[in-house]
């Protein structure tokens, strides 16, 4: 088919699609009463546009294979690019997010399993050790926390408190939600970012946070606040503690890139490691967001029976373990 006949045959379809793209770029209020071809409403025509888009894709392919003029090819190519942006951009983003959540994130962490177990060891061993040490030597708490910090912690986890885990200066679940997000992200970012100091920062803060959390747990258990404390942390501990460990993995990956850049320069190795680490930290952020929500709106409710909170906590740990061990298997990390 000659180019002129090709244009004459399909020009009306291209113009219709072009008009739709122009209206699509307007606000909903501006196009509310708009019409195409003087008859059909915008919403009605929009339902036809995916099919029209596929037709124009085919027209572009034909124009290229038949060596039509560069001007025509460029015109059709522009329609295809704009159409793809409006028709599939939001779906693409949603699918990318879901792929990251259910495939890329767990696959990526399994690829870093060695660092994950090292990070877990550095975090959990000090945590568990200090719990036992403080129960044998209660005064040891004051070598890690100040008397004022100990007093605040005892206030927050007092069995007679209406809301467990809430400080004197904070009022309301939404305020606590914001506080937990800020606090948790600050801790995890500190563990991650200091890893660029040849891993030393990440190693230090993993151990430090393990000691700090273990000291709080050990003291509260010693003064018989164990029911309020354990029931409070049960629901969100899986997400929050694992996020800290993964932050250590991301930080150590940065440090290792500087220590052992391999065949790359340190700058290139750090850039490559940074891409991987940021993906891990994106997952950490999602975990901490979920943990803060549970902490503010579930964990702090003293009217919920401790046994129910314990059960939810066990389920959360089992689900998280299953997620990281099994989710995404059979897929290659692209």
| Nearest CA among 58, 59, 52, 54 for reference residue 20 | 52
At 329, the pLDDT band (50, 70, 90 cuts) reads confident
Q: Token pair of 45, please?
A: 């025509």
pTM equals 0.74
DSSP state of 163: B
70 pLDDT band, cuts 50/70/90, is: confident
At 29 the pLDDT is 63
pLDDT at 34: 54
Beta carbons within 8 Å of 288's beta carbon, 6+ residues apart: 181, 184, 185, 188, 239, 240, 243
Phi, psi of 303 (to 5 degrees): -75, -15
* Statement: residue 90 has pLDDT above 90: no
- What pLDDT is attached to residue 222? 96
pLDDT (0 to 100) of residue 92: 59
The structure tokens listed for 329 are 């298997």
**Other beta carbons within 10 Å of 219:** 25
Nearest to 254 by CA among 189, 188, 203, 195: 195
User: Pick from 114, 164, 210: which is nearest to 305 by CA?
Assistant: 164
| Per-residue model confidence as pLDDT tens digits over 96-154 | 888 899 999 999 999 999 999 999 999 999 999 999 999 999 999 999 999 999 999 99
Provide the pLDDT for residue 334.
42
CA distance 306 to 227: 7
β-pair type (40-41, 35-36): antiparallel
Q: How confident is the model at residue 42 (pLDDT cuts 50, 70, 90)?
A: low
Angle at 283 between CA 318 and CA 95, to 5 degrees: 100
pLDDT at 205: 98
Window from 49-53, 95-99, 267-271, 317-321 with minimum mean pLDDT: 95-99
- Reported in sequence order, the residue ranges of the chain that DSSP labels E, i.e. its strands, are 35-36, 40-41
Give whole-number Cα distances, 305 to 224, 232, 301, 309, 310, in Å.
Answer: 17, 11, 9, 7, 9
- Tokens 């200091």 belong to residue: 194
Terminal-to-terminal C-alpha distance of the chain: 41
* Whole-angstrom distance, CA of residue 265 vs CA of residue 252: 18
Banded pLDDT at 270 (limits 50, 70, 90) = very high
* Domain boundaries of the chain, sorted by first residue: 3-97, 112-326
Angle at CA 105, nearest 5°, toward 102 and 109?
A: 130
Percent of the chain scored above 70 by pLDDT? 89
Contacts of 324 (CB under 8 A, 6+ apart): 106, 109, 110
CA distance 83 to 36: 17
Backbone angles phi, psi at 25, to 5 degrees: -75, -10
Over residues 37-41, the mean pLDDT reads: 50
Q: Whose CA is closest to 79, among 26, 163, 19?
A: 19
Percent of the chain with pLDDT over 90: 65
Q: What is the pLDDT of residues 151-185, one digit of tens each?
A: 999 998 988 876 677 665 556 678 888 888 999 99
What pLDDT was estimated at residue 38?
44
């Amino acid at each position: 088919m000659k180019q002129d006949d090709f244009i004459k045959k399909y020009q009306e379809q291209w113009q219709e699609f072009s008009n739709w793209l122009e209206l699509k770029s307007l606000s909903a209020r501006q196009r509310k009463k708009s019409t195409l071809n003087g008859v059909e409403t915008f919403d009605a025509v929009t339902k036809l546009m995916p099919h029209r888009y596929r037709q124009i894709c085919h027209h572009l392919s034909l124009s290229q294979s038949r060596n039509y003029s560069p001007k025509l090819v460029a015109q059709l190519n522009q329609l295809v690019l704009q159409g793809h942006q409006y028709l599939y951009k939001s779906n693409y983003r949603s699918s990318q997010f879901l792929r990251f959540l259910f495939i890329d994130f767990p696959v990526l962490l399994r690829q870093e399993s060695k660092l994950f177990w090292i990070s877990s060891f550095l975090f959990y061993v000090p945590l568990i050790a200090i719990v036992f040490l403080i129960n044998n030597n209660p005064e040891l708490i004051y070598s890690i926390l100040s008397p004022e910090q100990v007093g605040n912690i005892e206030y927050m986890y007092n069995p007679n408190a209406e809301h467990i885990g809430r400080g004197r200066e904070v009022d309301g679940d939404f305020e606590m939600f914001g506080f937990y997000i800020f606090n948790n992200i600050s801790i995890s970012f500190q563990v991650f970012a200091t890893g660029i100091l040849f891993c030393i920062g990440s190693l230090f803060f993993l151990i430090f946070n393990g000691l700090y959390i273990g000291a709080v747990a050990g003291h509260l258990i010693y003064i018989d606040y164990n029911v309020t404390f354990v029931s409070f942390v049960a629901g969100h501990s899986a997400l929050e503690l694992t996020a800290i460990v993964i932050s250590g993995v991301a930080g150590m990956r940065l440090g290792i890139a500087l220590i052992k850049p391999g065949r790359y320069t340190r700058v290139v190795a750090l850039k490559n490691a940074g891409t991987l680490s940021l993906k891990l930290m994106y997952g950490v952020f999602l975990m901490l967001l979920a943990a803060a929500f549970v902490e503010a709106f579930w964990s702090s409710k003293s009217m919920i029976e401790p046994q129910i909170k314990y059960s939810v906590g066990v389920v959360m740990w089992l689900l998280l373990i299953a997620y990281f061990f099994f989710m995404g298997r059979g897929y290659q990390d692209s």
